[in-house]
């Protein structure tokens, strides 16, 4: 009897171990965090990127303050951050209020975490930048060649409501050196209220993507106050996206016709979006 119990326990442990190894591979093959196999670009010395994240840490319903922990989907910072760093750029990190950018704990689960995310966990420099992020209102956008806005559920609560961020996006757009402006997932909400010099919404008429309403419904997070597909369409953007059996496994990246904006559909799109940004910089 004792031997049978030991054998049974050993089998269960083996099955659990195999499942732990197999699940991340299966999700990756289904579309989660796809590899980037396109061209690589070295950027001229002295170029500088800014990554903006959310300060919001709770997945709460409207009018409520309690809920599950949320924040930025870490890959939406780690993927562009290390892509820009490896291309030779300096990278700053900012948020609406400055200070801590919370990380959604779900994005660090063993079956979701990417290689770039694992690098973040071992990188005290990036961790410090996220814990002591710059406040958007204090930024001089003339310093940056790239402005990249990360998403995650937290971004639904602050990016689209910040007049300071909207103003800074307009400032970046009209900067003499014409920085590339990018956003992925809910990060595109940081673009919806930026205006041109005539007072019109800056993204109206531009091809863009972001998290689909379908993905939000499938993941059961419709309680978030702003949904990218809906809000981009309201702002007059020409919304486009890819779909899958679950949109969590889809990805799509769009470069607008003017080649000033790069947008990525969701958490799977950050790596390709970052390299599209580098492509535009290299072409200048």
pLDDT at residue number 21? 66
pTM > 0.85: yes
Q: What is the pLDDT along the chain (284 residues), one digit of tens a residue?
A: 333 333 333 333 343 444 566 888 888 999 999 999 999 988 988 999 999 999 999 999 988 999 999 999 999 999 999 999 999 999 999 999 999 999 999 999 999 999 999 999 999 999 999 999 999 999 999 999 999 999 999 999 999 999 999 999 999 999 999 999 999 999 999 999 999 999 999 999 999 999 999 999 999 999 999 999 999 999 999 999 999 999 999 999 999 999 999 999 999 999 999 999 999 999 98
- Helix orientation angle between 75-86 and 270-283, rounded to the nearest 10 degrees: 30
Neighbours of 22 (CB within 10 A): 11
Do 148 and 277 contact (CB within 8 A), yes or no? Answer: yes
pLDDT at residue number 8? 33
What are the Cα distances from residue 133, in Å, to 50, 72, 246, 273?
Answer: 11, 13, 33, 22
């Amino acid at each position: 009897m004792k031997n049978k119990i030991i054998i049974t326990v050993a089998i269960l442990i083996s099955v659990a171990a195999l499942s732990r190894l197999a699940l991340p591979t299966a999700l990756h093959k289904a579309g989660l965090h796809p590899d980037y196999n396109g061209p690589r670009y070295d950027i001229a010395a002295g170029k500088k990127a800014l990554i903006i994240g959310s300060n919001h840490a709770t997945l709460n319903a409207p009018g409520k303050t309690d809920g599950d922990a949320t924040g930025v989907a870490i890959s939406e910072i780690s993927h562009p951050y290390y892509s820009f760093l490896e291309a030779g750029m300096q990278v700053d990190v900012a948020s609406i209020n400055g200070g801590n950018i919370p990380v959604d704990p779900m994005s660090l689960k063993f079956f979701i975490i990417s290689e770039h995310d694992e690098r973040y966990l071992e990188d005290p420099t990036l961790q410090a930048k996220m814990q002591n992020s710059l406040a958007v209102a204090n930024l001089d956008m003339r310093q940056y060649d790239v402005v990249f806005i990360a998403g995650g559920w937290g971004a639904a609560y602050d990016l689209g409501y910040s007049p300071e961020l909207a103003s800074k996006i307009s400032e970046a757009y009209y900067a003499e050196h014409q920085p590339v402006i990018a956003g992925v997932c809910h990060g595109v909400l940081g673009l919806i209220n930026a205006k041109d010099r005539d007072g019109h919404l800056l993204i109206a008429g531009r091809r863009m993507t972001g998290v689909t309403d379908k993905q939000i419904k499938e993941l059961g997070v419709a309680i978030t106050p702003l949904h990218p597909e809906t809000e981009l369409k309201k702002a007059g953007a020409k919304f486009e996206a890819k779909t899958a059996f679950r949109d969590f496994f889809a990805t799509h990246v769009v470069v607008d016709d003017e080649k000033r904006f790069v947008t990525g559909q969701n958490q799977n799109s950050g790596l390709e979006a970052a390299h599209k940004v580098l492509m535009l910089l290299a072409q200048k």
